[in-house]
Chain A
Amino acid sequence: MSPYQLEIRVKPRPGLLDPQGKAIHHSLNSLGWEGVRDVRVGKAIYVDIDAESSDSAVEAAEAMCRKLLSNPVTEDFEISVTDMSEGGES
């Protein structure tokens, strides 16, 4: 088993109204960033996990997303994994 860190990014599905993103979008525009075309707000979840391999860590993360971390009705997710063992590579 090796230590891995998972970064799980959960974001609102395209097409779904994201009122937080909309509010931030307006604020950025009013601060002068007129070129901002769209803002969407998601969340990042960091999970430290011991796993056999980076593949199995990602597999676990996918299952976590389906069961708890994301709501399939409204959200999509993306996963990155980093090998945290000494000399490990992502």
Chain B
Amino acid sequence: MKVAVITFPGSNCDYDLYKAAQQVGADASFIWHRERDLKGYDAVLLPGGFSYGDYLRAGAIARVSPVMEDVVVFANSGGLVLGICNGFQILCEAGLLPGALVRNEELTFQGKDVRIRVECSDTLFTSDYADGQILRVPIAHGEGNFEADQATLETLESDGRIVFRYVDASGATSDEANPNGSWHNIAGITNEAGNVLGMMPHPERAMEDILGSTDGIGLFTSLASSLSGLAS
């Protein structure tokens, strides 16, 4: 199982993602954003960080990086693509996911542990979780407020493409549990085909007890089992 971790200038979660992929048995490699060869890879991971200093809009410059043309082709041919935090922002800018991530409603950068609820375990990224399972994972972003036009939002909702939502300790979606003002507490969504997932929280930073949570492991084991299922 070969996994590409794309590094943009300003990425800062690429090593975490690399290590998370290795932890579930993947053969992970870093791909610099100017390299253009994704042949032979089974999944592409876009890390968090501040690519190009978030200039213009978060993810806007990274999405015109040479490698992104290949990522678009890879995604459109059914390859598994996961974007976390800045990776999610880049996927939206690239048009691989609908909507946009705008400034947090309260304007401040949010860096803390949050709870998210698994809304759909029937995806290539969440099969090792149970529906309704609550995960404790960190967030670290200033632009995580998911916005889209009303028709898109309703489609995401009705098609079950909202994979994670911010919730409180009891598992309920509430304004207090929403760290950034995202519509309907959206924390992660998939594309229509289900092979592209974008999420603001950082499962790759919740992989070991020493990090405070191991709730992120399931996402990477799900990804690994999807890839072995696709290969067989």
Binding site for B on A (CB under 8 A): 16-17, 19-20, 23, 68-69, 71, 73-74
Contact = CB atoms under 8 A, between A and B. Distances in A.
B107 A71 contact: no
Contact of B103 (A20, A68, A71, A73): A20
B113 interface: no
7 contacts: A17-B102, A19-B103, A19-B106, A68-B56, A73-B92, A73-B98, A73-B100
B147 interface: yes
B33 interface: no
Interface of B: 56-57, 60, 64, 92-93, 98-100, 102-107, 145, 147-149, 181
Contacts of A17: 102, 105, 145, 147, 181
B147 A16 contact: yes
A23 to B, nearest CB: 6
A23 B107 contact: yes
B107 A74 contact: no
Contact of B147 (A20, A69, A74): A74
B157 to A, nearest CB: 17
A71 B57 contact: yes
B105 A19 contact: yes
Contacts of A20: 103, 107
Contacts of A74: 100, 102, 147
Nearest to B104: A19
B107 A73 contact: no
A20 B93 CA distance: 21
Given A16-B147, A17-B181, A71 B93 contact: yes
A86 B11 CA distance: 45
A70 to B, nearest CB: 9
Contact of B107 (A16, A19, A68, A69): A19
